[in-house]
Amino acid sequence: MNDLPQPTLPFSPQALPRGSLHRPETAPAAAARTGGLAVTWARHLDEVREAQRLRFRVFSEEMGARLDTAVAGHDVDLFDEYCEHLLVRDEASGEVIGTYRVLTPAQARRVGSFYSDGEFDLWRLRQLRERMVELGRSCVDARHRQGGVILALWGALGSFMQRNALDTMIGCASIPMLHNGVVSGDTAASVWQQLRQTHLAPIEHQVTPRLPLPVEQLDGSLPVEPPALIKGYLRLGAKVLGPPAWDPDFNTADLPMLMRIQDLAPRYRKHFLGT
């Protein structure tokens, strides 16, 4: 297998090599297993390619995103080379059925920014950046969207955060622009109008979109629920950082979200942190 071209540099005294879920550096590669699922960190380019193929199927073939990719049938961008890639496999088939990518503070400095910097002005988060990771490109195979895959991913993320003394997660949570077969921003506007009343972050952490969805010109009164992933983040204790940006390539409205370990809901602490 081909090694990744940009192996992660250690970013804390406790940092482990890329993909290792074991404290001893000599331990063999293994997976955390739960309910027929195996959770691993990608260690080689071959494994990252598996995640990128899944992302292509979900984002391009299923959701209709326009992906500018150098590798046919794969969702690839310049951030991939700098990220850690978390994989969930179906133990029966060995297939990658869920993935996240994680950009650490050290790697964000190397690439020059977080992905979210391209969609939002993150100036107000500057004091958090040294202990802040970015989660992105979350997706689950259509046949496995019963919740177990996301829980498995979150459990591995919690361990990763603790191991590397990180305490804040950010990311863009997408809301599809397609509603009842029609491309419209009304659903996203309605989700935003709901969540700004209940889950808006304090002003010192609010951010502004670079390409705003024109929520004031849309119908924000639809009785719609947020997508399942956003609801999951909110149950954990996440906050919405401001109004959505429009991503024309993915044809989504992206909500900026922030999750701090100190705000983690008590009933999820054991699963997420093991405490």
Q: How confident is the model at residue 33 (pLDDT cuts 50, 70, 90)?
A: low
Instruction: State residue 7's pLDDT score.
Output: 33
Angle between helices 228-236 and 148-163 (to 10 degrees): 40
The tens digit of pLDDT for each residue in 41-63 reads 999 999 999 999 999 999 999 88
Fold of 30-166: Aminopeptidase (3.40.630)
Distances in Å between the Cα of 44 and the Cα atoms of 21, 49, 213 are 15, 9, 38
- pTM, 2 dp: 0.86
Instruction: State residue 65's pLDDT score.
Output: 86
Q: How confident is the model at residue 183 (pLDDT cuts 50, 70, 90)?
A: confident
Instruction: State residue 16's pLDDT score.
Output: 33
Name the residue ranges covered by the structural domains of the chain.
30-166, 174-260
